Amino acid sequence: MNAKKLMALALATVSVASMSMMASAEESVSSNSVQKSAYEAKAEAESRAEALAAEAIGIPLTTIYAANAEGKEIGEYISNSVYKVAGIDEVTPVAQGGNVIVDGKQTNISFTVDKAYYTYTASAQAQAASVGGTAINVVDVKAPVRFSNAEVNFYTPGVTAEQNIQIFQASNGSWVSVDVKEVREDHVVANLTAPGVLVFVKVQ
């Protein structure tokens, strides 16, 4: 076979291979486009369904997304409370509705009540057991201002005036007792010196 024929054969082979690769690439792009299109359609359908569900119950979709982002139930997010804690079967809700007394001054400030990380639950329960009690909630309290002392009225539905409710705050790997000023029907008033993770304990 002479050089011209060899060259022609080589060019033909390259041309066929090139066409095959192009076809394969086009098929791949087409397949990816179909998959992407299907994914986008599904996402859009789910988004519309969520929007309709939110509209049906009168709650803005942004509120639902915000609650999900914080790991909260919608009711918890709206009411600034925690009433579900993983690892605790019987939870007493803890909420905060404002009027915090900050460094001796009455304010209209509210402290935020968020869910604490699950890693706190086991040690919180151990702390409760060490004082002969049961952990009834573990929350992460956040403050919008700095303070030396804050008298915080927590709404705790189900708590009665005769119950012995103690609060401990997570601090450097241990739990420190918090001053509980008052326990009355559905309320526990505490003096905090800093925001942080709190465990509410019902002592038997």
Alpha helices for the chain (secondary structure H) = 3-56, 61-69, 74-79, 119-130
Pairing of strands 174-184, 164-171: antiparallel
CA distance 186 to 202: 13
Does residue 6 register a pLDDT over 70? no
Element (H, E) at 24: helix 3-56
Mean pLDDT of 33-41: 68
pLDDT cut 70: percent of the chain above it: 78
pLDDT band at residue 99 under the 50/70/90 scheme: very high
Q: Which residue has the higher pLDDT, 40 or 162?
A: 162
> What pLDDT does residue 21 have?
43
Over residues 95-117, the mean pLDDT reads 97
Higher pLDDT, 9 or 19: 19
Residue boundaries of the structural domains of the chain: 86-203
Is residue 159 within 8 Å of 95, Cβ to Cβ? no
CA distances 85 to 94, 157, 166, Å, are: 11, 16, 18
Q: Which residues contact 140 (CB under 8 A, 6 or more apart)?
A: 113, 114, 115, 116, 117, 196, 197, 198
Of 33-37, 108-112, 122-126, which gets the smallest average pLDDT? Answer: 33-37
Check whether 48 has a pLDDT greater than 80. Answer: no
User: What pLDDT was estimated at residue 41?
Assistant: 77
Measuring CA to CA, which residue among 157, 154, 141, 137 is closest to residue 199? Answer: 137
For residue 57, name the pLDDT band (cuts at 50, 70, 90). Answer: confident
Cβ distance 123 to 130 under 8 Å? no
* pLDDT over threshold 50, residue 96: yes
pLDDT at residue number 44: 75
Q: Is the pLDDT of residue 52 over 80?
A: no
Q: What is the pLDDT of residue 102?
A: 98
Q: Report the amino acid identity of residue 153.
A: N
Residue 9: the pLDDT is 36
Has this prediction a pTM greater than 0.85? no
pLDDT of residue 16: 38
Separation of alpha carbons 68 and 13, rounded Å:
58
Percent of the chain with pLDDT strictly greater than 90:
68
Strand partners, 152: 190
